[in-house]
Structure 1
Amino acid sequence: MVPKAQFRSYYGRPIVRPAPWTHDIAAYLFTGGLAAGSSLLAAGGQLTRRPKLRRAGRVTALGALAASGYFLVADLGRPERFHHMLRVAKPTSPMSMGTWILTAFGAAAGAAAVAEAASLVPSRLVRRVLPPIGAAAGLGAAVVAPALATYTAVLLSDTATPSWHVAYPELPFVFAGSALASGAGIGLIADPAPPTRRMAVLGAALELYGAHRIETTKGLLSEPYATGRAGKLLKAGRTLTAAGVVGAVLGRRSRVVSALSGLSLLTASAMTRFGIYEGGMASARDPKYTVLPQRERLTEPADGQ
């Protein structure tokens, strides 16, 4: 009897080429989600007449957007490459759509932040004209925010990277929840109002649900998310998310506890994004995550007969 062959690739080399991205993209995933979540926080503060939430959300959204632009351009290598992507609009390309989403969101979030600064200008005309423009721009940014928060999930899962591709149903939940949780984190620091706590609970629930599905239902392809650097980051992110939600709910009478809960949610969001990034890159570097799942899929029809 010939023993069953053990898996190995050609000289142990990867079969799928890892994405040519650096950790700038992982940081971009976080800051983009923070910008989206903060704009939703600002819109909520605007609609419920909570100026502290509105102001904190608008300022954070603009700051996170500026950071996103820096990280994206740093990865692209040359600033004009971003401009060149605006020459076409290709609905089947997540990167093309993401460029337009980021541009539309940036225009709205920037206008809202400028209008927020109008309160510091002594001119009556400025104070009369800019706030209505800021209100419309703030709501416009909130409309685009869900697309900004989730398009990066589509971008990752549209690649051939095994552990990203297989998680396409859950990644949007993880990224949307992470964006909401990070926005709520800013709100808990600025003004821990009841809507902010509800936003934190909803965001954490979506994030933890999606991450749990990715880490437990993908067979061998869940392994990169549970081991190595990715496993440590995601585990720490889950712990901090849970701690942040508990603090937000139980510490409603303490500004210190609420602020610490907000910092916990912000840190957890960053760790989750970096963990997802690391898990996908690890699955591309190891050829077994490409070949073994393919072999399993080939044997599934025979097993069912």
Structure 2
Amino acid sequence: MTASFDSREPRRRGGRKRGGEELMVPRAEFRSYYGRPVIKAPSWAARDIAGYFFLGGLAGAGSALAAGAHATGRTTTATALKVSSLGAVGLSVAALVHDLGRPARFTNMLRVFKPTSPMSVGSWLLGLYGPAAGLAAATAVSGRFPRAGAAATAAAALTGPAVATYTAVLAADTAVPAWHEAHRELPYLFAASATAAAAGMALAVGPAREAGPARCAAVLAAAGDLAASAAAEHRMGQVAETWREGRAGRLLRAARVLTVAGAAGAAASAYGGRAARPVAALAGAALLTGSACTRFGVFAAGIASAEDPRYTVLPQRARLDAASREQERREAAPRG
């Protein structure tokens, strides 16, 4: 990719280079060739990959909540969450395979295990988690082989959190600015969003008498979701514009409203009396929809940031400038 540099910017007075030399050449202003992107935007389809992000999060976090419900005797909620996790992971793999184009491309990723590759690690996680979630759901529905079902429930609960969050590492490991610049906060955001979705599912399908832990999880997840999102936008600087504008901005604002409304509804359902069940169901639907909006919004922000060259170049320039200032400060410091 070629680029042009505009030298019409006025010379900075008193500008210095390393070693105290005066800048004789004005600072170049970057402009990509005809405004074209500097990096290639991902070719992933939003419906497939953002859906894969959401469904994987719902499945993984759902298995963790299902294990808690199983251990505390909330059998109806546990069974519902196990079944929903199996359905969600099945749909997430179907979405991934659809984006890959051929099922063989997914199975080929299981030929080797590369700890340095998020995609390789994620493929193996799905390969381990899927059968465990399937066995947990089958034994819960049939009522047979309870010991095997308990072991499968524990295995799904152990691998579920990684399934729910590894997609954040996968996205942040790319050069896409809106994902890479949020690499510290994105796993926490995905974890909170996945927990909100799983809590929403528990509220929507479980009986009100078993909904206490789901209510607590919903409130905590909503707080974590808002905190992680705010921290990411604060630290990303100019790249955060892609999280606030356009399609991504609309989706992420809707996600915040729905998540807060869902958490408030979950808390209110504890005091709803006869209305507790419909209030909990509405709160669950809001949490599920909010989680989906978060995943689709983050995905849309990534595509928007890759298509605009400003978000690739300006953060790099800012880091270089900061490094240069730090080097000048060290050189100017008195030597003992």
Match of 2:311 among 285, 289, 295: 289
Task: Determine if contact 1:9/1:287 at 8 Å carries over to the other structure.
Answer: yes
Deviation at 1:3, TM superposition (A): 3.4
Tell whether 2:280 aligns with 1:258: yes
Tell whether 2:184 aligns with 1:169: yes
Q: Point out where structure 2 has 5 or more consecutive residues left out of the alignment.
A: 1-6, 11-27, 330-336
Q: State the SS of the aligned residue for 1:8.
A: strand
Tell whether 2:83 aligns with 1:68: no
Match of 2:164 among 142, 149, 168: 149
Task: Determine if contact 1:153/1:172 at 8 Å carries over to the other structure.
Answer: yes
Deviation at 1:215, TM superposition (A): 2.0
Take 1:38 and 1:186, find their aligned partners in 2: how far apart are those partners? 8
Q: Which residue of 2 aligns with 1:244?
A: 262
Q: Which residue of 1 aligns with 2:244?
A: 226
Q: Which residue of 1 aligns with 2:151?
A: 136
Deviations along 1:14-33, whole A, 9 cap, x unmatched? Answer: 10111121111000000000
Deviations along 1:20-72, whole A, 9 cap, x unmatched? Answer: 21111000000000101211121111011001111111000010011011100
Take 2:185 and 2:250, find their aligned partners in 1: how far apart are those partners? 20
Task: Determine if contact 1:178/1:269 at 8 Å carries over to the other structure.
Answer: yes
Deviation at 1:2, TM superposition (A): 4.2
Q: State the SS of the aligned residue for 1:217.
A: helix
After TM superposition, list the pairs within 5 Å mapping 1:22-41 onto structure 2.
Answer: 22-23=45-46, 24-41=48-65
- TM-score normalized by the length of structure 2: 0.85
Match of 2:253 among 235, 240, 246: 235
Q: State the SS of the aligned residue for 2:133.
A: helix
After TM superposition, list the pairs within 5 Å mapping 1:1-305 onto structure 2.
Answer: 2-4=8-10, 7-23=30-46, 24-119=48-143, 127=144, 130-189=145-204, 190-192=206-208, 193-252=211-270, 253=272, 254-303=276-325, 305=329
Report percent identity of matched pairs: 51
Task: Determine if contact 1:181/1:265 at 8 Å carries over to the other structure.
Answer: yes
Deviations along 1:275-294, whole A, 9 cap, x unmatched? Answer: 00010111000001011112
Deviation at 1:11, TM superposition (A): 1.5
Moved more, 246-255 or 275-284: 246-255
Deviation at 1:205, TM superposition (A): 1.8
CA RMSD after TM alignment: 1.4
Take 2:34 and 2:244, find their aligned partners in 1: how far apart are those partners? 26
Distance 1:301 1:37, change over 3 A: closer
Deviation at 1:7, TM superposition (A): 4.1
Moved more, 248-257 or 1-10: 1-10
Q: Which residue of 1 aligns with 2:333?
A: none
Task: Determine if contact 1:188/1:261 at 8 Å carries over to the other structure.
Answer: yes
Distance 1:183 1:2, change over 3 A: closer
Q: Point out where structure 1 has 5 or more consecutive residues left out of the alignment.
A: 120-126
Deviation at 1:302, TM superposition (A): 4.3
Number of paired residues? 296
Task: Determine if contact 1:108/1:140 at 8 Å carries over to the other structure.
Answer: yes
Whose Rg is larger?
A: 2
Deviations along 1:160-207, whole A, 9 cap, x unmatched? Answer: 111111111100101100111111001111234211111112221221
Moved more, 93-102 or 14-23: 14-23
Task: Determine if contact 1:41/1:53 at 8 Å carries over to the other structure.
Answer: no
Distance 1:218 1:50, change over 3 A: same
Take 2:186 and 2:242, find their aligned partners in 1: how far apart are those partners? 15
For residue 241 of structure 1, what is the amino acid of its counterpart? T
Task: Determine if contact 1:40/1:57 at 8 Å carries over to the other structure.
Answer: no
- TM-score normalized by the length of structure 1: 0.94
Deviation at 1:6, TM superposition (A): 5.1
